[in-house]
Structure 1
Amino acid sequence: MKLLIANKNYSSWSLRAWLALRAFDIPFEEETLLLNGEGWKEAMLERSPTGQVPVLIDGDLVIPETLAIIEYVADKFPQKHIWPADRATRARARAASAEMHAGFFRLRNSAPMNLRASHPGRVPLDYVADELDRLQKVWGDMLDRSGGPYLAGSFSGVDAMFAPVATRIRVYELPVADFASEYVEAIYALPAFQEWYGEALKEPWVVEQDEIDFIQGKTQ
């Protein structure tokens, strides 16, 4: 299998799919399609049916979309238990993952993933307050049920889906409860995340349109 990803510093969706494979020791190759440089959009369209990443390639099968990738590898490697074994816990994990996939737009758009950055105070809290509250409600409910340190107890697909949001809380120093801060630290402590994070810090590329100054400049 091969996973097409983008710049590790910026690509939150790539991180999700990559973690779902690496954290469970599923063998795969990775190929980076840059989010910058001459002709990068055209190059992306040549390799991805949606013009976006991640994309998983397994033989003749080409799978875009992060949740579809996670579901595919969970089906292909059932012994890895990418989703929780308990039916009710699994249902909650999938529901939370779908909510992450389809929501939290203000939080995602106003606080872009940027692992090399430190931008305390740059996100308007009144703009993201409702979504930050909802995020903590989802995390709190799941952590109370599982006992942590991850949302379903041990690391699973739902944590892969929320990992980029955890980085936003740290990078922008968003105010959250202690249990949420502890969950962020658990994500950062995950060996697979540490591998991605270390490689992101070494990347030489700067993608202007994904930097907070550019994003806020468009809305002012």
Structure 2
Amino acid sequence: MMKLLIGNRNYSTWSLRPWLVLAHFDIPFEDEVLQLAGEGWRETLAARSPTGKVPVLIDGDLVIPETIAIIEYLVDLYPDKAIWPADLRQRAMARAASAEMHSAFQSLRSHAPMNLRAAHPGKVNIDTVGKDLHRLETLLGGLLTQSGGPFLFGEFTAADAMFAPVATRIRTYALPVSDLLNAYVEAIYSLPAFQQWLALALREPWVVDDDEIDVMQGRVKPGTLA
């Protein structure tokens, strides 16, 4: 059985993405959490991952780092599952959107880290993420308008897995977005696979200070969050 090495579910956006694809499309796998903080965590990652990062998919003697590479491997391995849209043009658009998510939205990543356990309305300076929010409205809003929702291409695909962490940021920090994008956030949260991940994340005891906005913004000292 394939194994997916992941980081802390509460914080690890890149781990969430392939995990959702595997879980939603009923692909047999098991996962293992590798800590993203604590004594020796970097050494542990370096010993288990070719890049020193997560996620990593292990299939026999094949070791695949990087989220998009993992997703494309699953597409090739399970061609009968609609991981990408069936239509050629829509598939190209889904891959383009996913690639943009992979390389862009740096302000949103930096100023509004994923934190599934938290609710931090008003703690993100909208001026710092405004450009990214505008691009999300254009990109996701356009795709949702074309498809009619509830997901970017009607049914859930890998493109939605790529943008699922964005949906969590919108909710955690109560970011100002359109009704269309708020409905998309609700669709992501209603997905059974996402609910599985969320339930596990909420039970995690670990804190990663680097991803806690109160620590990042100096309201709380590192090492003091329970």
Q: Could you state the TM-score of these two structures normalised by the residue count of structure 1?
A: 0.97
Q: 1:153-164 alignment to 2 at 5 Å?
A: 153-164=154-165
SS in structure 2 at match of 1:62: strand
Give the Cα–Cα distance (whole angstroms) in 1 for the partners of residues 14 and 175 of structure 2.
21
Unaligned runs of 5+ in 2: 220-226
Cα distance in 1, alignment partners of residues 215 and 57 from structure 2? 30
CA distance in 2, matches of 1:111, 1:117: 11
The corresponding residue for 1:23 is 24
In structure 2, the residue matched to 1:136 is 137
- AA aligned to 1:162 is F
* Partner secondary structure for residue 141 of structure 1: helix
Q: Matched residue of 2:4: which SS?
A: strand
* Corresponding residue SS for 2:139: helix
C-alpha separation in 2, matches of 1:116 and 1:87: 38
Which one-letter code corresponds to 1:24 in the other structure? F
Question: Which residue matches 2:223?
Answer: none
CA distance in 2, matches of 1:58, 1:217: 42
Give the corresponding residue for 1:149: 150
The CA distance in 2 between the partners of 1:130 and 1:151, in whole Å, is: 21
Aligned residue in 2 for 1:100: 101
Amino acid at match of 1:74: V
* Paired residue secondary structure (1:31): strand
- 3-state SS of the aligned residue for 2:5? strand
Report the Cα distance in structure 1 between the residues aligned to 2:88 and 2:217, rounded to whole angstroms.
43
| Cα distance between partner residues in 1 of 2:93 and 2:182 | 21
Instruction: Give the Cα–Cα distance (whole angstroms) in 1 for the partners of residues 210 and 164 of structure 2.
Output: 22
Corresponding position of 2:58: 57
* SS of match in other structure, 2:80: helix
In structure 2, distance between residues paired with 1:183 and 1:13: 19
Equivalent in the alignment of 1:114: 115
Matching residue of 2:207: 206
Cα deviations across residues 105-140 of structure 1 (Å, max 9, x unaligned)? Answer: 000110000000000011110111111000111111
Match in the other structure for 1:32: 33
* Helix, strand or coil at the partner of 1:3: strand
Tell me the distance in 1 between the aligned counterparts of 2:101 and 2:210: 23
Determine what percentage of the aligned residue pairs are the same residue. 66
TM-superposed deviation, 1:72: 0.5
CA–CA separation in structure 2 for the residues paired with 1:214 and 1:102: 26
Give the match's secondary structure for 1:217.
Answer: coil
Query: 1:161-195 CA distances to partner (integer Å, 9 max, x unpaired)?
Result: 00000000000000000000000000000000000
The list of structure 1 runs, each at least 4 consecutive aligned residues, that deviate by more than 3 angstroms after superposition, is: none
CA positional deviation for 1:38: 1.0
Higher helix share: 1
Aligned to 1:70: 71
Deviation, structure 1 residue 2: 0.6
Partner of 2:222: none
Q: Aligned letter for 2:18?
A: A
Say which is worse superposed, 10-19 or 206-215, in terms of deviation. Answer: 206-215
Matches of 2:200 and 2:52, distance apart in 1: 24
Q: Which amino acid aligns with 1:199?
A: L
Per-residue deviation, 1:60: 1.2
- Distance in 1 (CA, whole Å) between partners of 2:137 and 2:218 is 29
Identify the residue that residue 168 of structure 1 maps to in structure 2: 169
Alignment partners' CA distance in 1, 2:83 and 2:213: 33
Superposition CA RMSD, Å: 1.0
Q: How far apart, CA to CA, are the structure 2 residues paired with 1:72 and 1:87?
A: 18
CA-CA distance at 1:216 after TM superposition: 2.5
Please state whether the residue corresponding to 2:58 is helix, strand or coil: strand
Task: Indicate the SS of the match to 1:30.
Answer: strand
